[in-house]
Amino acid sequence: MSAEYKPNEIEPKWQTYWDEQDVYRVTEDPEREKFYVLDMFPYPSGSGLHVGHVEGYTATDIVARYKRLKGFNVLHPMGWDAFGLPAEQHAIKTGEHPREATARNIATFKRQLKRLGFSYDWSREVNTTDVDYYRWTQWIFLKLYEQDLAYIAEVPVNWCPALGTVLANEEVIDGKSERGGYAVVRKPMRQWMLRITKYADRLLEDLDLIDWPDHLKEMQRNWIGQSQGAEVDFAVDAESAGGLDAKIRVFTTRPDTLFGATYMVLSPEHPLVDPITAASQRADVDAYIAQASHKTDLQRTDLAKDKTGVFTGAYAINPMNGERVPVWIADYVLATYGTGAIMAVPAHDERDWEFAKKFDLPIVEVISGGEDVQEAAHTGDGVAVNSGFLDGKSVVEAKAETIAWLEEKGAGKGTINYKLRDWLFSRQRYWGEPFPIVHTEDGEHHALPEERLPLELPELADYKPTGTGEPPLAKAADWLQTTAPDGRPATRETNTMPQWAGSCWYYLRYIDPTNDEAPWSPEAEQYWMPVDLYVGGAEHAVLHLLYSRFWHKVLFDCGLVSTPEPFQRVVNQGMILGKTYEHYTTSEGAPVSRADMHKHENLTGEEIHPDHVRVVAPANVKWDGNTPLHPEHGFELHEIIEKMSKSRGNVVNPDDVIETYGADALRLYEMFMGPLEQAKPWDDRSVNGVYRFLTRVWRLLAAEEGEGLSERVVDGAIEEGLNKELHRMIKRVTEETEDMRFNTGIAAMMEYSNFLYKQDTIARGAIEPFVVMLSAYAPHIGEELWHRVGHDSSVVHADWPSFDESVLVEASVEIAVQIMGKMRGTIEIAVDADQDAAVAAARANEDVERHLEGKTIRRVIFVPGRILNFVVG
RNA sequence: GCCCCCGUAGCCCAACUGGUAGAGGCAAGCGACUUAAAAUCGCUCGAGUCCGGGUUCGAAUCCCGGCGGGGGCACCA
């Protein structure tokens, strides 16, 4: 009976062994090629590890183990992105220090990760909230500050009253906070900014240097949003603007259409709005500005809404033709993009066209080739008309000539504009890195010298936001008062850094985690960097990955790192979806199936009001073959595949799966579900399949009693047929693992074990390679069997098996015979048979000959080893 | 509205990148074992590749147009 596969016994045993033997510890070894495989470290939330973490972490663990077995010196670390809002919200609610809740959560995560048998070098664990870590985050901030990449600005920010903080643009989704979904409003505040825009061009160009999925690069390109165009100055018509002498600068990507600019639009926040507004328009303009300021970004950018705007009463002069054009304000022009003002060319821009139609402004065609511009804007290609010296020129030529003309006249210049804005880098929170900055009475700010780092977070009596926008750190009276580097009294900066700060450089700390002289040593950096493989969720495509690249480039310019990019290859794991089983309740409260719900309630559409929807936990569903049934009432449940969420009751807890099937089965199942990058639904019943595979392997190889091997494993030479299967399996598993196609790699191992089951005896030499390969995927059973095979040291130190291609060569091959592309039979021919031999063999086949009867063979297509095709006429 | 990815047995997925549509798993069916069931072992069933065109000797694979699902961007001048 001891032959039974008991993951809950063998798994803890080997986890302890690995810890005690310290098998995953790595150090720099110039003799060996390095491989740095990195996970996106988790935010240690209170709900613990979820199956999505397990997916990515298993993938990297397999790669790490594979590379180790291949002889690489593998760096595979883990740590904690532990600053952040949830811990602070918890502190506000309970009064418990965020450090304590964080430590507790980390302990849970760590226990869960260890339970999964991941091969991390835990001696390199980092925690962004440790003083020994964040002193270097502060140190890197000083580098940014020294390079003039950090500055203070009064900017309209996303103020979230509920959270008591400002948020970065990236943290605001549809006008609500990414975390919590609270309303966000615009409010001008004094904030720290990082000049990421200075690196926009390099962040864009260097995407060509790295091996990332296309969709991810595309998202970064969109975010950076480079557009080529021109800045053009329109002089304000002084007479119309109370004698004001001013210029309105606009950005346009279509300088070729300048002759068609029939009006201008300023954003409501534009500084010239107030000075140019005519007395007669003052009331309307002020009302419009007030109205716009109360709108959220969501409302302002709602595409469905009509264009709105107000005439200022002022005019400007089109520099090309000297014509007076009216200046309007409208909220479809954004203050934060370009110059906050546009020239409107209604004939060739859909937004301007809509606005012009609504307010009856002139529409003048300047690019021919489209339909009537009075009916619709023509945004396509064409030839310049009504454009003076540009007439007859193509769009491309007209752009170039206009820019040259503007530059000569000093009325504008060619320029490149970016959608990317500077990074709002401060938060009005407690649980973050304090800025190493002090303020003196004269309003100047000063960096703390390096020797005064770390600047530790002070203890507070409570963590509540002040509500005014002033950060909680302002309450730390003793901490607040200090001296400037020159000895003058000063007060500390009370903002803290955003959560992204710590995660911007953690991959560098792993390479030298305990260094207290420097964030990392140059030697270690040169050995380990760049990260060879970085796996994580796509939700970080533009935020974390862009910020890290930015910091890395700054560090590169400072000579602190040796590579221009941090992450050579990035892979996104697809989301694991959950299955929800719904039933419904009628207005009378009776539980019914979906079909009956429609009948009872006379519903015509698909939508059933949420109040009438009930869900059955997947574990409680009763199955009749493939039909999910209600556990009590027995009617059919409606299955929905969607994102896992607590409220839908479809969250799978890794701990539960390990309890039932073991960590190896969980790892294997998540890899077997499908391609790593693809979204796929969790299927409780399929976990059984891989669990069954492991029990089969166990029964095949483990002795029925004691700690040895099954009797069917024997010494001696490997029989020819088995040897062929063995080498075929090694080849396939090697290639699939190399390409991270773990699902098919596992299938190859399953096939091999199915083959082994048909053998009466199996030579020992045919199972060792299998055990080694299996150990990369399912390390516990792999280690157990490795020891049972007779090894004393860990399978971690084994060699990845190699295969002999010559073993796989077949003497003959079966190929298909087609006539006009239709399958008519197969023939068995020698592998090196030539076309004549193949045709002869085919004509000996009755079916083939029957179809060829009476036809003329016009052409023969022969692809050796694949196909023979007759073209007849 | 624009951009990207995906549609293959009841389900999750393979198919050497244009060459016999099926490797693996789930589910189902049959048999063996069992007093019976579960577990286990063995065997079996199963789609012509979302739809319509095109290129080709040959298309799941390439091209065009739809439909369906997922993701991203969204007045960015």
Residue-wise pLDDT tens digits, A260-294: 999 999 998 899 999 999 999 999 999 998 888 76
CB within 8 A of A422, min separation 6: which ones? A153, A193, A194, A195, A196, A197
Categorize the per-residue pLDDT at A601 as very low, low, confident or very high, splitting at 50, 70 and 90.
low
Distance CA(A593)–CA(A589), nearest Å, equals: 13
CA–C1' gap, A674 and B8, in angstroms: 14
Q: How many CA atoms lie within 13 A of A550 on its CB side?
A: 28
Nearest residue: Cα versus C1' of B3: A218
Tell me the Cα Rg of chain A. 34
Nearest residue: Cα versus C1' of B40: A696
* More confidently predicted of A160 and A494: A494
Distance CA(A613)–CA(A591), nearest Å, equals: 10
Is it true that the peptide bond before A362 is cis, omega within 30 degrees of 0? no
* More confidently predicted of A144 and A464: A144
Is it true that the peptide bond before A566 is cis, omega within 30 degrees of 0? no
Q: Which of A367, A245, A256, A260 is nearest to A316 (CA)?
A: A245
What percent of the residues of chain A are helix, what percent strand, and what percent coil, each to the nearest 5?
40, 20, 40
Q: List chain B nucleotides near protein: any atom < 7 Å from a Cβ.
A: 3-6, 10-16, 19-21, 23-29, 39-43, 57-59, 70-77
CA–C1' gap, A8 and B40, in angstroms: 21
Nearest residue: Cα versus C1' of B77: A252
Q: Which nucleotide is closest, CA of A222 to its C1'?
A: B73
Q: Does pLDDT of A604 surpass 60?
A: no
Tell me the average pLDDT across A644-663. 89
Q: How many CA atoms lie within 13 A of A711 on its CB side?
A: 3
pLDDT tens readout for residues A121-132 = 999 999 999 999
CA–C1' gap, A59 and B72, in angstroms: 24
Query: Residues A44, A104: contact at Cβ < 8 Å?
Result: no
Q: Does pLDDT of A548 surpass 90?
A: yes
CA–C1' gap, A1 and B35, in angstroms: 23
* More confidently predicted of A465 and A373: A373
pLDDT tens readout for residues A740-792 = 999 999 999 999 999 999 998 999 999 999 999 999 999 999 999 999 999 99
Place of tokens 């008991």: A6
Tell me the average pLDDT across A542-549. 91
Tell me the average pLDDT across A626-651. 81
Residue A169's pLDDT is what? 65
pLDDT above 70 covers a percentage of chain A that reads: 96
Does ipTM surpass 0.90 in this model?
yes
Q: Does pLDDT of A102 surpass 70?
A: yes
Categorize the per-residue pLDDT at A1 as very low, low, confident or very high, splitting at 50, 70 and 90.
very low
CA–C1' gap, A390 and B70, in angstroms: 47
Q: Mean pLDDT score of chain A, rounded to an integer?
A: 89
pLDDT tens readout for residues A330-341 = 988 988 888 999
Q: Which nucleotide is closest, CA of A747 to its C1'?
A: B24
CA–C1' gap, A219 and B4, in angstroms: 9
Q: Which nucleotide is closest, CA of A673 to its C1'?
A: B12
pLDDT tens readout for residues A698-747 = 999 998 877 888 888 999 899 988 999 999 999 999 999 999 999 999 99
Residue A247's pLDDT is what? 93
CA–C1' gap, A264 and B75, in angstroms: 15
Q: Which nucleotide is closest, CA of A866 to its C1'?
A: B19
Q: Which nucleotide is closest, CA of A343 to its C1'?
A: B77
Q: Which nucleotide is closest, CA of A214 to its C1'?
A: B4
Nearest residue: Cα versus C1' of B4: A215
pLDDT tens readout for residues A516-535 = 999 999 999 999 999 999 99
Q: Does pLDDT of A483 surpass 80?
A: yes
Q: Which nucleotide is closest, CA of A344 to its C1'?
A: B77
CA–C1' gap, A466 and B50, in angstroms: 57
Highest mean pLDDT among A213-227, A354-368, A805-819: A354-368
CA–C1' gap, A534 and B5, in angstroms: 21
CA–C1' gap, A871 and B64, in angstroms: 27
Tell me the average pLDDT across A411-431. 89
N-to-C CA span, chain A: 69
Query: E strands along A332-467, which residues?
Result: 341-344, 367-368, 383-384, 412-418, 423-424, 437-440, 445-447
Q: Which nucleotide is closest, CA of A677 to its C1'?
A: B5
Residue A2's pLDDT is what? 42
Q: How far is CA A120 from CA A109, A657, A725, A792, A797, in A?
A: 13, 22, 33, 22, 15
Residue A252's pLDDT is what? 93
Q: What is chain A's length? A: 873
Q: Are strands A310-317 and A324-329 parallel, antiparallel or unpaired?
A: antiparallel
pLDDT tens readout for residues A668-689 = 999 999 999 988 888 888 899 9
CA–C1' gap, A673 and B69, in angstroms: 18
